[in-house]
Structure formats: C-alpha cells, structure tokens
Amino acid sequence: MPDILSAPLVVEFPFTRSLGPVQSAFLTGLRERTVLGVRTGDGKVLVPPVEYDPVTAEEIQDLVEVAATGTVTTWAWNPHPRRDQPLDTPFAWVLVRLDGADTALLHVLDAPGPDAVHTGMRVRVRWAGTRTGAITDIACFEPYEGEPGGSAPHDGEFADPVTGIVTPARLDYTYSPGRAQSAYLEALAGRRVVGERCPSCLKVYVPPRGACPTCGVATDERVEVGPRGTVTTFCVVNIKAKNLDIEVPYVYAHIALDGADLALHARIGGIPYDQVRMGLRVEPVWSEGNRHPDHYRPTGEPDADYDAYKELV
Ligand SMILES: [Zn+2]
C-alpha cells in the first residue's frame, strides 16, 4: 500500500464582468466617496442598489445618495481573518442600514472585540486611501457617535465612470487523492503510467479512481499502460490562461494510452496546431521537477485506424 498523498490545491480565476448603469454609478460613487442607492416603485431605497425591483421585476434607475453613517442590523464576529479579507485583524461581519436606506449592506466593522459590537450600534464608513471603483473602496465601518446623515437625489453622473470590474475568485483546498490516485501519482514520479483494471468488465482506468463507475466494484489490479497513445479528439485553445506560460494557439487533446480504456487529456506539442488530427500517435515529453508529462509529441508512427480507438472517443 502506498502512502496516501495530500497537498494544497488552489482553484483560482479572475471573474470579469461589465457593469450596467446602476452598478456603474454605485461603484464609481464609492470611488468618489459617495454611496448611492436606488429607489423602487414603492419608494424604498435599496443599498447596495440593484437593476431590477425585487418585488415587481421592473427596471429601476432612480438613484439616491445616502449617508456614509448607519446602524448595524446584525453581526457576527470573525476571530481569524483569512487571506484577502478586508481587515487582517479580527473584525465583525456586519449588515449596516445606512441612513436614508431601507436595506442593509454587508461589510466589516473594525472593533477591538465582540464585546464592543451590538445590534443597533451606530457606525460610519472608513474610506480606503486608494479607491478604484470597488466595494473595497469602503475599507470598513467604524463606531460613530455623531448625528445621522440624510439622503438626496443623485443623477449618478461622474467623470470617467467605472464600467467593468475584475473579481478574483479563489478556493483553497487540501486535496487527498486517495489510494488509487496516490499510487498513480507515485508511479508518475518514476515516469510510469499505471491504471487499474476492473475485475468485472476488464476495462483499465487511467487515471484510476479506485472503482469502476459502470460495474460499481473496486479496482485494485495495477496495470502499466502507455507510454505511447493515440489522439482520440482534440480542441485548439485560442484564449491565453492567466498564470500559464503557453503561447496560443495550442492543442489540448484526449489521448488514449496504449492499454488504457479511458482517454486522459494533455497538451500536444512538437507539431503545428493545425496539423494535429484524430488518430495521431503521440508520446509523453517529461520535464524536470514536474510529476506529469509536460506535453505529448508525435511519435512519427502511422496514424491509428479509427476502429482502433472509436470506443474511446
Ligand atoms: Zn467494470
């Protein structure tokens, strides 16, 4: 039995969205230290604003400037701030109903401890020193004892409005691949590809999952496959991914390694992208310090007959 592996796994992508007129005005307003809400058909002021009335679904664009002061409507203490949270010291998550608004905005409150926070407490915006047109232009809220502010109509017009934002999305996992994939990864470290055969249907799964999804039985017979294989299908990638140092266009393919009954996927190199084809015979190219093949390249053999891999497409 191999040791069961475990490693950090980060899934991260920047989400780019364009802003409609209401969200554009809201975020541009924050950049200019102005908090805007929107008035619904029945006169309620929503902060943060939305583009459609949540009751009637009517489009709404009647902007209102509300105060940078407000009241905490509920809260929760966060004793262990995580990466990229608004404050790096313990803080309270708060819903704040700003003066002039009828709904509450989710943000954070800078307070020395949970004993200093209560529902109904008065707070005000602490603006970020550098503002770009994002919710983080409000650095946080802080306790405030002064007079309540009011609200006033606002035309939402600003010079150089913010029209789009990039929101980083990131998920941090500790990933344990389990018995079958741990053995697969250990074999890859020795530049061998090892799958597992189903005792019932005899299919060889690469990478192995520890069970046959068709028969529902455990797989434990290790079978070395490849290293050569056949391209069963492929796509041409024309969009450059963040943090990936590969020039576009390039080809990403499904490859059935010899002896495997499941295609894995990998990049194809060593051949112009527009000459890659189904049936192309390929072999792995390993790089130093990398458990996986960097890519697959043509072997120079004649293409495989379609009948030889049609069940794996
Ligand atoms: Zn099976």
**Which of 170, 201, 232 is the C-terminal boundary of a domain?**
170
Give the model confidence (pLDDT) of 162-183 as tens digits. Answer: 999 998 888 999 999 889 999 9
Give per-residue pLDDT as tens, 107-125.
Answer: 999 999 999 999 999 999 9
Clarify whether residues 95 and 44 are in a common domain: yes
What's the number of domains the chain is made of? Answer: 2
- Which residues have a Cβ under 8 Å from the Cβ of 141 and sit 6 or more positions away? 70, 72, 94, 96, 107, 108, 109, 110, 123, 124, 125, 126
Which pTM value belongs to this model? 0.68
In a domain, 6, yes or no: no
Ligand 1 centroid to Cα of residue 205, in Å, is: 9
**Same structural domain for residues 85 and 47?**
yes
Q: Are residues 247 and 228 located together in one domain of the fold?
A: yes
Do 164 and 186 reside in the same domain of the chain? no
* CA 312 to ligand 1 centroid distance, Å: 15
* 56 found inside a domain: yes
The CA 219 to ligand 1 mean position distance, Å, reads 8
| Domain interval for residue 244 | 177-312
Mind listing the pLDDT tens digit for each residue in 266-299? Answer: 999 999 999 999 999 999 999 887 878 999 999 9
Answer with the one of 118, 149, 170 that is the final residue of a domain: 170
- Cα-to-centroid distance, 215 and ligand 1 (Å): 4
Sheet holding 221-225, edge to edge: 204-205, 193-197, 221-225
Domain limit, last residue, from 116, 136, 170: 170
* DSSP 8-state class, residue 298: E
